[in-house]
Amino acid sequence: MVEKMPILEFSKVALSFGDTEVLKEIDLVLESGKFYTLLGPSGSGKSTILKLISGQLQADAGKIFFEGQVINDVPAEKRRVNTVFQNYSLFPNMNVFDNVAFGPRLKKMSEKDIQDKVKEMLGLVKLSGFERREISELSGGQQQRVAIARALANDPEVLLLDEPLSALDYKLRKELQQELRNIQKRLGITFVFVTHDQEEALAMSDWIFVMHDGLIQQNGTPEDIYDEPINHFVADFIGETNIVPGIMKHDYLVHFVGKDFENVDAGMRPNERVEVVLRPEDLDLTDPANGKLVVTIQDQLFRGDYYEITAVDDDMNTWQVQATNPATVGARVGLTFDPEDIHIMRYNESEAAFDARLESYEDEEAEAALQAAKDDQSQSGGQG
């Protein structure tokens, strides 16, 4: 079987502005016809990646390939890529038709083909009949639809979308999320969508790249990223989560919150420091005697289909729980979970901070395990 060539590829791409390394060493492989999302906090380098793809910026190091050809030196106007921006960037002195017809006219398409193209694109973004409207007569959502139609009228192979929905209100945003996804599936071109909103990324993407600190922290399907976060940053950034320190007692046995739990998928070494992730929806409230730990309810918010409960354990660690029934603020309750829902991550930050957190549980077993980890480490020459 012949492997399909990626439409876009970054190989060890780096870029700095002055002393700031905005992209450290980026490797990306994008296949044709998929909906990709670059997700990360403000300043993590998402827009910079789009500008490297569109040719607005040049990489300091590394190679960018488009259908197997290096394009580092190909000028922006020769790349089959268009961008939709957050602020629409329409031509305010042109009506809807002329905005969408702009690219086709530059390409010197026949007037008949231009008419057909504009009609098709406005149909796609549900603005048929708006041809003669001025831009100032459109709502924000309609302006963004025009911007999408204008970009697509150029027949790009890759459409770049830089936070295109951020300026819209919640309901409109949800509506356009669904529509953008439908448009991408219908046209079958590659979308690279930038957002800092994890919910949006999970809902829309075939594949997500989570960015932080100029690096891709993790990439995978929305399910991979949500269920199997690779590190503290990703676990914390993607959705509400509880992250607690733990230590491996065997490769299949993790010790945390003062107890041992079997977790056969962990793939960690005995005595390794780990972080344990438990999503709020995987926790249940029960009576204290049946709980894996006991907590005090601190706060609760009604979220429509569930209650968002904040609780603290006796070591003052906070727990987020999603419950179907309301709880009583101030009540002491048990927290329980299915060991299968435990997700374990390798810990790679400061050991001192970790040890202090683990010891906050004042748990002799944990301290003994930690001592074993420290002994292990000194024997193996500080690796670990």
Ligand X SMILES: Nc1ncnc2c1ncn2[C@@H]1O[C@H](COP(=O)(O)OP(=O)(O)OP(=O)(O)O)[C@@H](O)[C@H]1O
Task: Give contact residues for ligand X (rule: CB under 6 A).
Answer: 17, 22, 40, 42-48, 196
Nearest distance in Å: CB 219, ligand X:
16
Nearest distance in Å: CB 202, ligand X:
18
Nearer Cβ to ligand X, position 196 or 232?
196
Q: Give how far Cα 309 sits from Cα of 9, 122, 277, 298, Å.
A: 43, 45, 17, 8
Nearer Cβ to ligand X, position 48 or 143?
48
Nearer Cβ to ligand X, position 32 or 86?
86
Nearest distance in Å: CB 196, ligand X:
5
Nearest distance in Å: CB 44, ligand X:
4
How far, in Å, CA of 176 to CA of 164, rounded? 10
Nearer Cβ to ligand X, position 196 or 249?
196
Nearest distance in Å: CB 144, ligand X:
17
Nearer Cβ to ligand X, position 16 or 318?
16
**What SS3 string covers the chain?**
CCCCCCCEEEEEEEEEECCEEEEEEEEEEECCCCEEEEECCCCCCHHHHHHHHHCCCCCCEEEEEECCEECCCCCHHHCCEEEECCCCCCCCCCEHHHHHHHHHHHCCCCHHHHHHHHHHHHHHCCCCCCCCCEHHHCCHHHHHHHHHHHHHCCCCCEEEEECCCCCCCHHHHHHHHHHHHHHHHHHCCEEEEEECCHHHHHHHCCEEEEEECCEEEEEECHHHHHHCCCCHHHHHHCCCCEEEEEEEEECCEEEECCEEEECCCCCCCCCCEEEEEECHHHEEEECHHHCCEEEEEEEEEECCCCEEEEEEECCCCEEEEEECCCCCCCCEEEEEECHHHCEEEECCCCHHHHHHHHHCCCCHHHHHHHHHHHHHHHHCCCCC
Nearer Cβ to ligand X, position 214 or 229?
214
Nearest distance in Å: CB 20, ligand X:
6
Nearest distance in Å: CB 139, ligand X:
24
Nearest distance in Å: CB 284, ligand X:
37
Nearer Cβ to ligand X, position 37 or 47?
47
Nearest distance in Å: CB 32, ligand X:
24
Cβ 239 vs Cβ 227: under 8 Å: no
Nearer Cβ to ligand X, position 197 or 315?
197
Cβ 186 vs Cβ 15: under 8 Å: no
Nearer Cβ to ligand X, position 47 or 217?
47
